Structure 1
Amino acid sequence: MINVVLIGAGNVATHLFKGFSRTEKVSVVQWFNRNLEAINQHKNSVEITDNLNDLKEADVYILAVSDDAIAELSTQLPFENRLVVHTSGCVNVHNLDKKHKRGVLYPLQTFSKDAKVDFAHVPICIETIDKKSYPLLKELALSLGSPTKRVNSNQRRVLHLAAVFVNNFTNQLFRIGHEITESEGTEFDLLKPLIMETAKKVQDMSPYMAQTGPAKRDDQKTINEHLKLLDNEHHKTIYELLTASIQHTHGRKKL
């Protein structure tokens, strides 16, 4: 049994708690957050606290907090030489106070509190300074049913950057598509099979090979028609930028 103290109450912390609660291999012995109201609904399932001095002894302390809070919070922990990890994609493992055994448990997935998460589809990237800590973190990740990958800080930062492109930026494009369809009373739901097929294709081929559309085939007539349809100058700028990027990738034009 791995004893865990969870620190933080955001999306990642909430889903980690739910995931750990479903396995007999892990016990969340305590959950800390500065604002108890954020975790009060779980008080019947786990001991909660807002006092760092009351933290219990555990095998691992997981800082699932904002990137800016990680370094300072790690210095405030009232103990040393225990395994403390954060869950960030871009914060260096050395940002954790050196009085601790340090590591990273980075779940490479998008999390929203109200959306269900299947950890079988959540790769967890693991980084440790002390090699002896790695097996424990791997066992912790495997207890969730997650695939694991050992990475260093540079690899993790690059993965996080790529994740912003394929998730955050893509979701913003979904939002723009939603705005465009709403402007003419068209149903955005009609695009959902296309969204699913686009994601499905890159499971079996490279994004380069999966690319289609007017920009790739340099269909200037269609491109110009689209630009005329766009009343929002911001949307028009994005269309032009992405069109130029696709054309550059596929040898049509230079950026």
Structure 2
Amino acid sequence: MSSASEAALQSSQTTLARRWVLRVLVILVIGWGLFVWGLYDAMVLYPNRGKDAASYLKYQYLREVEKAKPSMVSVDDPAAEFARLKTKKRDNTMSAVESARFNWLEALSRVSHMTPEHTKIADAKQELKDLDTRWGVANVKVPQPLEGYDIPSQWAIAGVGLVIGMWRLITFLAVAKKKYLWNRETSTITLPGGATLTEADIVDYDKRKWDKFIITLELRDGHACGKEVTLDLYPYNELEPWVLELERRGTGKVSEPPKE
């Protein structure tokens, strides 16, 4: 018997195994990391990029306005105008000004800014002048417009991360709360619910999932736990040596996994 097994038999209560805690921590870091990453991208990075793209496309629109001098510059009802331009785009009948206006409105829609507050233009020349100081300089980095799925996909990543993180946190707390007790004088395991197991209670040690640290114990008739109890040995340091001690002392048969 190894020193670790001997030490486990001297213990009276299970403790969490380092191997299991490390695995849980890795999954927690991945889950919460995905959540924070997706949340930041959905709330900060992508909206800021989308606003920059809309600003640049407004600049392009006002440049087209300056060249073509159309009758309509300001967009007082962006939803209606966007719908109208969608139809014209489908029919391939948009002018250069309308195409630039459509691109601008589409960029605004990606960041939920397609409202009169963001589309009314009081002084086109002044706004073009203001935007030119930002977008008219040499070697300016042109922002990539957002696709319709960009921000929703980041929310999806955040959601997946939240589910993973919460699920692993809840399971960690549940396992940490669960305690098995050992009476070394009587070689008795007390389960978290209060029922006890001795070597006399166990008819069969089903080790067919032993490689996954799972064992199913078939119990004698009339036991408080019913016909069988399944134990997950992986999260605990002491539980496996305790079960093996019951097997060593008892007369129950052992069902091994089939040999390949």
Q: Give 1 or 2: higher strand fraction.
A: 1
With the shorter chain as reference, the TM-score category is under 0.3
Choose between structure 1 and 2 for higher RCO, CA contacts under 8 A separated by at least 6 residues. Answer: 2
TM-score by length of 1: 0.20
Larger radius of gyration: 2
TM-score by length of 2: 0.19
Q: Give 1 or 2: higher helix fraction.
A: 2
